[in-house]
Amino acid sequence: MNRWKSYVKWTGISVGSVAALFVVAVYALQYRTYEAPYPQIVASNDSVVIARGRHLVYGPAHCNFCHGSWDELPRIMAGETIDLKGGNAFTLPFGIIRTPNITSDRETGIGAFSDGEIARSLRFGVDREGHALFDFMPFHNVSDEDLTAIVSYLRTLPPVKNAVERRDINFAGKAVNAFLIRPVGPDGTPPATVPPDSTAAYGKYLAHSVANCVGCHTDRDMKTGAFIGKPFAGGLEMGSDLVPGLMFTTPNITPDEATGKMALWDEESFILRFRAGSLEEGTVMPWGAYGNMSDLELKALYRYLKTVTPVRNEVKQIVWRKEG
């Protein structure tokens, strides 16, 4: 009996010690830093470059959808130019992530950041202090030319003072941040330039590196961000932060004849759908920004999506209200 009590005692002490060490490690690793290079990106004053950056920010890159303000949602969904002052909250299983202010305000925005610091956060997922960013921005493989255009345009934004508390995460979120979140960099050397055209090749660039179609239309673990489904086959459940309790399941946009959206559309109807804008309350699809894409870009995107591998994956419910 005494031996059994001793065993239980020391087992309890061991388990408690491991748990205590885990908690200490979680909090100690919240602020770990990483080394990442600064891309050789220098903002330009060329009006053509700045115009290209504006098109990306309010078009395919849909920066306005995340870095705008939900208070201006009608304008966002109309694709209008708004202040990118941040603060929008995205609710995840481990807590809330808020978007930063990316206006030129030097205290609460990015006005005091160098071009390299801005470019590094977009390409390597490392912030100004060297911390890993949660991988919400799909711009790791964007071309040098487009990255320069984006940084150049952001430099022109008027300052808006809006301090944002970036994270409000629970202990599980802190554990994810400590052990699972790592900087995400490019797949090799990003291209110097990707000339816009209407080809499937350019559509692939848009779908994977700029518009992030693959990021939402592929099922993924919402705790870690890891992809767990077939590319573009849908099935990702996403809560709407615009309408409490509303959930969306992203559709299958492969050309599978039985279950894929791309099997239903010809090129003209595809473009018309994007021009129609939002048709569902609380949608998490940035229709306003995508509606600002050119016909050339939409043709390229259509032609690429018609080439992806068909996946049989029936998504029965696109919109539903979560019980409770």
The two structure tokens encoding residue 54: 């504006």
Q: What is the mean pLDDT of residues 49-56?
A: 98
- pLDDT greater than 70 at residue 139: yes
pLDDT for 10 equals 55
pLDDT for 50 equals 98
- Report the distance separating Cα 251 and Cα 259, nearest Å: 9
Listed range (73-77, 99-103, 177-181) with the worst mean pLDDT: 177-181
The two structure tokens encoding residue 50: 């700045």
* Angle (deg, nearest 10), helices 47-58 and 144-154: 90
- pLDDT greater than 90 at residue 165: no
If you write DSSP's letter for every residue of 259-323 in order, what string do you get?
T-GGGT--HHHHHHHHHH---STT--S-HHHHHTS-HHHHHHHHHHHTTSPP-------SEEEPP
Q: What is the mean pLDDT of residues 56-79?
A: 92
Q: Where are the alpha helices (DSSP H) in the chain?
A: 2-28, 47-58, 63-67, 73-77, 115-124, 144-154, 171-179, 200-205, 213-216, 267-276, 287-291, 295-305
Question: Any idea which residue has 């032609």 for tokens?
Answer: 303
Q: Give residue 171's pLDDT band: very low, low, confident or very high (50, 70, 90).
A: confident
Provide CB contacts within 8 A for 253, sequence distance 6+. 213, 217, 232, 234, 260, 261, 262, 305
- pLDDT greater than 70 at residue 2: no
Please give the residue that has the higher pLDDT: either 281 or 214: 214
